[in-house]
Amino acid sequence: MSTIPELHIAPSLLASDFGHLADAARIVEEAGAEFLHFDIMDGSFVPNISMGMPAVKALRPVSRAFFDVHLMIMQPERYVEDFVRAGADSVTVQAEACLHLQRTLAQIRRAGAKAGVALNPATPPEVLEYVMDDLDMILVMTVNPGFGGQSFLPAMLAKVRRVREMIARTAHPIHLEVDGGIEPETTGPVTAAGANVLVAGTSIYGHSGGVSEAIHLLRAAARSEE
Ligand code: DX5
Ligand code: ZN
């Protein structure tokens, strides 16, 4: 029997005003978010292009949050050291974009960051079975990566439960993060299934009552595993 680690909110800058990124980073930290989620897209692994190392570097001096860098790029091993140097606390690579996943995870840790793996909706968690000792975070994509504002895929709840079981069998702590369509309505089921890091873009930066109220609503909607 394992206990679910503490809940963390990870606002995704993708949904913020890119003209005021520093303000976007500051207001969510002030509102109590422990993580700041960077969506890095290359126009190849996903159709969209977003931001790169310079954005991480520019925000490092204005925030003490845990910089959670999600690489939606092909062959991410080419940029691991650059992102860590820019200020990433964790680097999460898409399993589908890595030919030699174990090597890339070891590379991330060697560079001094926590190592994460993200799984597309169609990717089974079993691909991680033999690299569990090499990772610190598993990101279950609850939409297909590439764009903010999409709807949560309910079929991912079973995957979150399965990943939580896999984590319970490992000897070291591993965060279970979910990303895509996370809002108060989906937070209850996903946290009950075992997620403990909630990435949210639209439901935080697009909330009409402001980011502080949005973060409060997400926390209030979270449930511990039954
Ligand atoms: C999707 C990104 C997400 C995205 C989530 O490719 O990985 O982090 O910003 O956006 P929302 O919360 O709007 O679904
Ligand atoms: Zn993301």
d(CA 116, CA 208): 32
pLDDT at 5: 76
pLDDT in tens, 59-107: 999 999 999 999 999 999 999 999 999 999 999 999 999 999 999 999 9
The yes-or-no verdict on residue 2 having pLDDT over 70 is: no
Whether the per-residue pLDDT at 1 is higher than 60: the answer is: no
CA distance 29 to 2: 29
Give the model confidence (pLDDT) of 188-216 as tens digits: 999 999 999 999 999 999 999 999 999 99
CA-proximal residue: ligand 1, atom 6 (nearest): 145
Around ligand 1, the residues with Cβ closer than 6 Å are 12, 14-15, 37, 39, 70, 143, 145-150, 179-182, 199-203
Pick from 70, 199, 204, 205 the residue to mutate for probing ligand 1's pocket: most ligand atoms within 8 Å of its CB: 199
Residue % of the chain over a pLDDT of 90: 96
Alpha carbon 29 to its chain's center: 16
Radius of gyration for the chain, computed over Cα atoms and rounded to the nearest angstrom: 16
Question: Under 8 Å CB-to-CB from 196, ≥6 apart: which residues?
Answer: 4, 5, 6, 7, 8, 175, 176, 177
Active-site position among 17, 23, 39, 42: 39
Neighbours of 26 (CB within 10 A): 15
Cα–Cα distance measured from residue 132 to residue 170, given in angstroms and rounded to the nearest whole number: 7
β-pair partners for 67: 36
Residue 223 binned pLDDT confidence (cut-offs 50, 70, 90): confident
Instruction: Give dist(CA 87, CA 126) in Å, integer.
Output: 31
For range 122-130, the mean pLDDT: 98
SS3 assignment, position 53: helix
